[in-house]
Amino acid sequence: MPEPADRRYGPATLPRSRGPVSAAVLDALRRPPHDLPAGLGADLDPADPITDEDLQLTLFLCYELHYRGWRGVDEAWEWQPTLLALRAEAERPFAAALRRLVGAPPVPAAGVAAGLAELVAADDGPPLAATLQRHADLTQFREFVTHRSVYHLREADPHSWALPRLGGPAKAALVEIQTDEYGNGRLDRMHAELFRRTLERLGLDTGYGAHLDAAPAVTLATNNLMSLFGLHRRWRGALLGHLAAFEMTSSLPNRRYGNGLRRLGLDEEATRFYDEHVEADAVHEQIAAHDLCGGLVRVEPALAPDVLFGAAAGLAVDRLFAAHLLGCWAAGRSSLRPPAPPALPPKVSLVASPEVAPPALV
């Protein structure tokens, strides 16, 4: 029996299902590649795709095949035609919901960098960073970090999909940003590794994808958004816009996250990930707006609306994420999904164990 791959770097263990479609996909992935049942995607048209657990997990299951894959899952599933078709069926309502959410932000005469600055200036999201800085307790901070681990343990990877799709100034700018994200080639400086130390100091599992079951749909949506833009060449403008918005709204919140951890008594090892971003992203935001997005649009002017759409979508989904956390905390409950109910011991009848109440759904 070969040694399992290092849990730190993936592949992740398959998560639990959240509805009929994700259950069918999970069932299929556990077996050799084969055609999925016809009509499986017909159930994927929920009222709110961004917060629909079954749709977002289905997308995440499909997308992860292009990142680290899944533990024990045949790698040939990555390009299985019926799985790709199902993914497309899941992407349609998700993309439509994003468009409903943000519309088509106008491109100002001053150019795309000015448009990005306007979107960021108008972004009045719920005060998640200020809450974490001043009021959150350790349990809430651990929750926040748990949500973010889905992204930060593979930090920068979704935007790297753009590299082979670009040439010229935008490519040079993206390489400059990503080089920092990947620690200039030093493992201990990679942002994903800095974040791993934050998880460690907070006593949380540092395994890649270890917290997927705890991450609700809106958290998966923040990740699926990047994969949607990253895995489709036609969305390269939106992907760069998303990165720009991310970098332009990073420096101050990261200062607040670091201060919040210090307030709670955590040490420099725990705050390094956030401290690093205060400086780095103050630089990245300039590169991202002017050299990256400005550079792209100078070469491909038709992509300007997509750049602003990607930025607006990133900001809007992040607002939903922040609202979810703050809403749950205001109501006195966890923002994470509950753990799996304990397995019943053998020979105990389901009917005979009324004391095992299911956990409240978040």
Q: Which residues bind Fe ion (CB under 5 A)?
A: 181, 191, 281, 284
| Spatial CB neighbours of 217, under 8 Å, sequence gap ≥ 6 | 18, 50, 51, 52, 53, 55, 56, 57
Q: Which residue is nearest to Fe ion (CB)?
A: 191
Please, what is the minimum distance in Å from the beta carbon of residue 250 to Fe ion? 6
The smaller minimum CB distance to Fe ion, of residues 191 and 236, is found at: 191
Please, what is the minimum distance in Å from the beta carbon of residue 205 to Fe ion? 21
Please, what is the minimum distance in Å from the beta carbon of residue 277 to Fe ion? 6
| 8 A C-beta contact, residue 242 and residue 311 | yes
Structure tokens at 324: 């979810």
- The string of DSSP letters for 285-332 reads HHIIIIIIIHHHHHH-GGGHHHHHHHHHHHHHHHHHHHHHHHHHHHTT
Q: Coil, strand or helix: which one is 196? A: helix
The smaller minimum CB distance to Fe ion, of residues 147 and 191, is found at: 191
Please, what is the minimum distance in Å from the beta carbon of residue 126 to Fe ion? 22
Kind and range of the H or E run holding 227:
helix 217-231
For residues 46 and 90, give the distance between their C-alpha atoms in angstroms, rounded to a whole number.
Answer: 10
For residues 55 and 66, give the distance between their C-alpha atoms in angstroms, rounded to a whole number.
Answer: 18
For residues 154 and 151, give the distance between their C-alpha atoms in angstroms, rounded to a whole number.
Answer: 6
**Can you list the alpha helix ranges (DSSP code H) found in 232-267?**
236-248, 251-263
For residues 215 and 151, give the distance between their C-alpha atoms in angstroms, rounded to a whole number.
Answer: 11
The smaller minimum CB distance to Fe ion, of residues 91 and 157, is found at: 157
The smaller minimum CB distance to Fe ion, of residues 259 and 286, is found at: 286
Please, what is the minimum distance in Å from the beta carbon of residue 5 to Fe ion? 24
The smaller minimum CB distance to Fe ion, of residues 159 and 236, is found at: 159
Please, what is the minimum distance in Å from the beta carbon of residue 255 to Fe ion? 14
The smaller minimum CB distance to Fe ion, of residues 40 and 244, is found at: 244
Please, what is the minimum distance in Å from the beta carbon of residue 155 to Fe ion? 5
The smaller minimum CB distance to Fe ion, of residues 191 and 242, is found at: 191
